[in-house]
Structure formats: C-alpha cells, structure tokens
C-alpha cells in the first residue's frame, strides 16, 4: 500500500513523498533538508525525483538530494530543471516499478511555459496549476493556456485526489466566497477548512469533485461566476476564457 506524505518546506510548500515500506518518490523537492530527515526517519530509499516545473521552490533540493542518493530526475523537457535526466511531455509515462505505480504525464502550461502534471493511482500531482479552490498565477503562459490546462485536469475522474504544492486553501476560499457567495458546497467547505487550519492540519489532498463544485476557476461557465466577473469588469464577458481571465486578474489584487 502506498502512502503520500506532505513534507513541509518554507512558508507553505508541501513536498509530496510517495512511498511504501521501503522506497520513495519525491515530488517537487524545493528544499532537501526536510526530505532527507523524513527519508532517514522512515528508513526509505528514494528512487526518483519528480519535478512539475522549474521554479526554485520546487527544484531547489535536487542537487543536494543527489549528493546523498543516486536516482533519476524527471521533469518537463522544455524547462531548465537541475540535474534533469528524463525530460517529459504529454503522453509519456513514468514507471516506478518499486512502488508498482505508473504516472501519466500531462502538459499543463500557464503558470510556466512547460509545466507538467503526473497522474496515476487516482492521484494527481499538479504543482502550481490547480490549487484547492484556486489556481496558480500566470507567469509565462497565457490565460487561454491556463484555462485549457485547468479544463484538462477537470476532465479527470471525480474521485481523483489533488496533490498541489502550496497551502493556499484558506485564502483561496475567501476569494471564492466573495464571488460565489450563494454556493452551499462552498459555504460548507469554508467551515471545514477553517477548522483544519485552526489545528494546523493540511487541507490537501483535495478531491476533484469538490473542486468542480467550489473552485471558481473551474466554474467559469456558471452564472454566478459570470455575473461576478461582469460586475467586476463592468462589461459583458460572454465566453469562459474571458471570465477566467477577469477573475484571475481579480484574485491577484484581492
């Protein structure tokens, strides 16, 4: 049986360690120190580093981890990933035989130009693209790319567990509540998340079905979100990409 453990780093990063009793794969190790401590505590042998994109808070631990262990480094083929050994693109599959796990690769540009996600075992490792009740900032791609990437992720099965890499859920929910105040599923989620954070419990992983019911960036074709975007922009936005673009800008200044 696999465990997926959130190793905390920096202010709000989670480094996901996928492991059984003996072996581990490390997703987006921005810092090596807490990962090394967890591996040693659990007596785990790491077999792979899986990077979703090039930002240092996701790759900064690669070099130091490789000073202690020999293993492949997977990541997007079109980004500068430290110590990359296996460049990946859409439809590639990462075989982690020691964990009996295959992860399909999805291209999800927007946050960065070459951002990828890993999906397998009903779990999605999506870096900084889809967040719990939110989505990442658009740094290198376009709003249209980001919207398409989110739609691609939303098409996965409802029971998919969403392992993003930042504890942003509470602030995301506050924004979502401001523009989707009449959503009962969102109101319930506010209560649950506030309780979790009060006790310093991670709000992740999320469940994709809950994201589709509460995440405004996945609901740009819904009347409440369209109305909020129109009110904020003071013009008529008729298509989902325009609505997405408006609420993404709004979130940046919220």
CB crowding 166-192: b at 16 or more within 10 Å, else e: bbbbbbbbebbbebbeebeebeebbee
Q: Using 50, 70 and 90 to split pLDDT, how confident is the model at 1?
A: confident
List 106's β-bridge partners, or say none. Answer: 117
The DSSP call for residue 2 is -
d(CA 189, CA 252): 22
d(CA 67, CA 58): 17
Alpha helices in the chain (DSSP H): 33-42, 56-59, 62-68, 143-154, 169-179, 184-198, 208-214, 223-233, 240-253
| Catalytic site includes residue 55 | yes
Whether pLDDT at 238 is above 90: no
Catalytic residue among 55, 107, 115, 180: 55
Catalytic residue among 28, 107, 115, 128: 128
Catalytic residue among 19, 54, 115, 166: 166
Phi-psi region of 43 (alpha: psi -120 to 50; beta: other; left: phi over 0): left
Catalytic residue among 53, 54, 115, 180: 53
Average pLDDT, the chain: 97
pLDDT tens across 190-216, in order? 999 999 999 999 999 999 999 999 999
| Catalytic site includes residue 128 | yes
d(CA 40, CA 35): 9
List 162's β-bridge partners, or say none. Answer: 124, 206
Mean pLDDT of the 153-171 span: 98
> Virtual CA dihedral for 84, 90, 95, 99, nearest 10 degrees?
90
| Catalytic site includes residue 54 | no
Hey, CA dihedral for 42, 43, 48, 53, is it positive or negative? positive
3-state secondary structure of 217: helix
List 119's β-bridge partners, or say none. Answer: 104, 124
Catalytic residue among 19, 28, 57, 180: 57
d(CA 126, CA 161): 10
Whether the CB-CB separation of 128 and 122 falls below 8 Å is answered with: no
Phi-psi region of 28 (alpha: psi -120 to 50; beta: other; left: phi over 0): left
Catalytic residue among 58, 107, 115, 180: 58
pLDDT tens across 3-24, in order? 999 999 999 999 999 999 999 9
Mean pLDDT of the 224-249 span: 95
pTM here is 0.97
Angle between helices 169-179 and 240-253 (to 10 degrees): 120
């Amino acid at each position: 049986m696999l465990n997926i453990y959130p190793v905390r780093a920096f202010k709000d990063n989670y480094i996901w360690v996928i492991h059984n009793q003996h072996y581990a794969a490390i997703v987006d190790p921005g810092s090596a120190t807490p990962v090394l401590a967890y591996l040693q505590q659990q007596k785990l042998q790491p077999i792979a580093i899986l990077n979703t994109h090039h930002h240092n808070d996701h790759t900064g631990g690669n070099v130091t981890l490789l000073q202690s262990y020999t293993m492949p480094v997977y990541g997007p083929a079109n980004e500068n990933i430290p110590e990359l050994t296996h460049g990946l693109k859409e439809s590639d599959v990462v075989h982690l035989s020691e964990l009996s796990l295959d992860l399909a690769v999805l291209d999800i540009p927007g946050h960065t130009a070459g951002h990828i996600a890993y999906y397998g075992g009903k779990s999605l490792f999506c870096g900084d693209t889809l967040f719990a009740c939110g989505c990442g900032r658009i740094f290198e791609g376009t709003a249209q790319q980001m919207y398409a990437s989110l739609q691609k992720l939303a098409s996965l099965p409802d029971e998919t567990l969403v392992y993003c890499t930042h504890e942003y859920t509470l602030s995301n929910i506050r924004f979502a509540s401001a523009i989707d105040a009449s959503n009962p599923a969102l109101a319930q989620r506010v209560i649950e998340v506030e309780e979790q954070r009060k006790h310093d419990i991670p709000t992740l992983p999320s469940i994709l079905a809950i994201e589709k019911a509460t995440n405004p960036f996945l609901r740009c074709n819904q009347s409440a979100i369209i109305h909020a975007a129109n009110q904020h922009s003071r013009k008529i936005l008729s298509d989902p990409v325009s609505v997405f673009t408006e609420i993404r800008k709004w979130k940046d200044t919220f």
